[in-house]
Amino acid sequence: MHTRRIGDVEVSAIGLGGMPMSIEGRPEEARSLSTIHAALDAGVTLIDTADAYHLHADEVGHNEILIAKALASHERGAEVLVATKGGHLRPGDGSWTLDGSPEHIRAACEASLRRLGVEAIGLYQFHRPDPAVPYAESVGAVRDLLDEGKIRMAGISNADPDQIRQAGEILGGRLVSVQNQFSPAFRSSEPELRLCDELGIAFLPWSPLGGISRAGELGSTFAPFARIAEAHGVSPQQVCLAWMLAKSPVVVPIPGSSRPETIRDSTAAAELELTAEEFAELDAL
């Protein structure tokens, strides 16, 4: 597995997004554990989670607990950087709400520490800006956690360029990652990706395979992904992730998975090299 960097930590070029294993449509626990173990067997050393990845109101942190269990039962579990998030909530009725107050961020981090069973969280990310709370206050709470050693590295999620710059200032130059939605179907985070590239901050695309399921449809905007995949004898998903990796050395995709075979396929993208012509065609879509 090729590697990239988040802060001072070397991680696999492809990570694993844990959300599908804990929200609507989630599989039985045994399959989720097998999925996480398959990721580790394939060389994955970055797993992304959040306290809000759960279904019911009484199971906050379901995904964090699942990942902790999987890592504890695998010989390479200690090598994994676990990235979690706080500031987003699920009341249990299928909706998502926000609480970016410093009090909530601190309490959420403490709870994540307990669920993950660690003394310090490897990468803690403010999940989503809360319009009811000044952004500086939310990020300031993350800074305090960093200063206190509760977290080893700090990141932000769902942020715009101004918020990235502001977070960098508040964190005293210690912002190591930005996690935004980015995929063939969702390209509006290009400015954030470019800024991260300029600043040397890791950019973690969430839901990176959006649109790829339609690549094989006649007349689809994303048909070039399927055509290039056929030429290489791989899946369109691999081509999609390879395209992202080729965009910048700071990109570390975190495709969500709930099946061993899908994460194995995704990790193979780290070995796929697109030609300059192929990359240009995909990047222009």
Enumerate the active-site residues. 53
Kindly provide the residue ranges of all beta strands, DSSP E only, lying in the chain, ordered along the sequence.
3-6, 9-12, 16-17, 46-48, 81-86, 88-89, 97-98, 123-126, 154-157, 175-181, 202-206
**DSSP output for 170-213:** HTTT-EEEEEEE-BTTB-TTHHHHHHHHHHT-EEEEESTTTTGG
25: left (phi over 0), alpha (psi -120 to 50) or beta: left
Which CA distances in Å does 260 have to 19, 237, 240, 279?
A: 15, 15, 19, 28
**DSSP output for 207-254:** STTTTGGGTTSTT-TTHHHHHHHHHHTS-HHHHHHHHHHHH-TTB---
155: left (phi over 0), alpha (psi -120 to 50) or beta: beta
137 C-beta neighbours (distance < 10 Å), count: 14
Contact 13, 245 (CB under 8 A): yes
Query: How far apart are the C-alpha atoms of 143 and 274, rounded to whole Å?
Result: 39
139 C-beta neighbours (distance < 10 Å), count: 26
